Amino acid sequence: MNSRLGTLYLIPNTLGDHARETQLPWVLPPETLSQTAKLQHWIVEDAKTARAFLKAVDSIAPLACTIQEMQMSEWRGAARNAKYSDSIKPADLLKPLLAGNDIGLMSEAGVPGVADPGAELVLAAHKLGAKVKPLVGPSSILLGLMASGLNGQRFAFQGYLPHENSERSSRLKQLEAESKKFQQTQIWIETPYRNTAMLLACLHSLAPHTQLCLGIDLSLPTETITTLTISQWRQRFPNEAACAPLQNRPAVFLLLA
């Protein structure tokens, strides 16, 4: 590792933008907030939302410079960035490290590098020989697993499942079979506006005794975490209209067969 290089700090974000100033002391340790406030070079998914987050940080841990003075680049992953400019590469965004400057890498929600395009930048930093420093903050995946009551010894995160109905149903049955075979908790996330479709697919595709946990609005004031069998879920949500309270809210799905 080259000691002359700057450090890439992996900065956790809140899991929602509701009352961030109130959330921050609960979900981010003082050391994380303090280090965040020191950084002047940033790589983020969306500059507008990143500035809103840093404004909230400033109310607790004063920033070392104004938000306007910060150098902020956007990275949405190689595939998505290509739509904007095919010349942008991870190494280009990490050039401040070569000059000895530290960089903060921020996800839109939760921790960078997990279900997040920041992993490409982290790998590029390792290739440069730079130090990578993950900071403590909320992960919906681990929070959901902790609170599910399902198997925390063996688990697998599956990212997003297919959106097409037949493919989604087939994938759910495959995950259920793997869960039963290995006694492994299967974890996945969904775009909030598809929550109802995902839950209904689970109720249609999975066996009655399979356990399903829904972690909704994790770490937020409206948080709900519920583990029931598929049979019990079917009684609670007998139709699409009954699922309305779950729609458009950040969710984590976990199952154990």
pLDDT of residue 81: 56
Cβ atoms within 10 Å of 116's Cβ, excluding its own:
21
Within 8 A by CB and 6+ apart from 60, the residues are 21, 24, 25, 33
> Taking Cα atoms as reference points, which of 90, 26, 89, 21 lies closest to residue 58?
21
Burial of 222 (0-12, 13-18, 19+ CB in 10 A): exposed
Residue 2 domain flag: no
Euclidean distance between CA atoms 229 and 184, whole angstroms: 16
In a domain, 1, yes or no: no
Q: Name the domain count of the chain.
A: 2
Of 76, 103, 134, the last residue of a domain is 134
Residues 126 and 150 in one domain: no
| Residue 115, pLDDT score | 86
- Can you give the pLDDT at residue 186? 98
**Is the residue at 162 inside a domain?**
yes
pLDDT given at position 90: 87
Report the CATH number at residue 89.
Answer: 3.40.1010.10
CA pair distance 118, 185, nearest whole angstrom? 25
Same domain, 47 and 150: no
Which pair of structure tokens corresponds to residue 112? 């960078």
Longest dimension (CA), the chain: 61
pLDDT at 18: 72
Supply the pLDDT for residue 84. Answer: 54
Give the domain extent around 100: 7-134
Residues 82 and 13 in one domain: yes
pTM (2 d.p.): 0.89
Does 74 reside within a domain? yes
CB 150 within 8 A of CB 252: no
- Beta-bridged to residue 134, according to DSSP, are 10
**Per-residue pLDDT of the chain in tens (257 residues, 90 and over written 9):** 556 899 999 999 999 877 677 788 889 999 999 999 999 999 999 999 999 999 999 999 999 999 999 999 999 876 665 555 556 788 899 999 999 999 999 999 899 999 888 899 999 999 999 999 999 999 999 999 999 999 999 999 999 999 999 999 999 999 999 999 999 999 999 999 999 999 999 999 999 999 999 999 999 889 999 999 999 999 999 998 998 888 899 999 999 99
Residue 95's pLDDT is what? 95
